[in-house]
């Protein structure tokens, strides 16, 4: 478990550094920080991991940690899909507004001539 804990600590440090350099927005950093802290708790505190593992039949502590990692990645992909869809609709609406403004400008120029 020690290599796993070290990797999580490095990931947490990387997320904080990316936020400091403004390469990662704060709204996304909370997801990563929360996931790192949860996985650190599961990996570093055996009683917590073992109690949660007892709730799931036929699973060990490491399998539980990997399950939470997979669930986090699925949630992250869903969140990104929602944001991409929203941005796509916004870009489409902006493109339509630009087309209408260009048409209005062309009509005004035609009237002036």
> What average pLDDT does the chain have?
84
Domain-by-domain residue ranges, the chain?
Answer: 2-86
Q: Supply the Cα-derived Rg of the chain in whole angstroms.
A: 24
Predicted pLDDT of residue 60:
65
In this structure, what token pair is assigned to residue 55? Answer: 């709730």
What separation, in Å, do the N-terminal and C-terminal C-alpha atoms of the chain show?
77
Predicted pLDDT of residue 103:
97
- The overall pTM is greater than 0.95: no
């Amino acid at each position: 478990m020690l290599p796993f804990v070290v990797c999580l600590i490095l990931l947490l440090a990387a997320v904080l550094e990316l936020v400091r350099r403004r390469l990662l927005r704060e709204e996304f950093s909370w997801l990563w920080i929360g996931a790192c802290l949860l996985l650190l708790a599961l990996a570093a505190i055996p009683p917590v991991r073992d109690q949660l593992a007892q709730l799931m039949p036929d699973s060990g502590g490491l399998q539980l940690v990997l399950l939470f990692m997979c669930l986090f990645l699925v949630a992250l992909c869903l969140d990104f899909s929602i944001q991409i869809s929203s941005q796509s609709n916004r870009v489409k609406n902006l493109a339509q507004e630009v087309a209408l403004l260009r048409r209005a400008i062309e009509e005004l120029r035609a009237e002036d001539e």
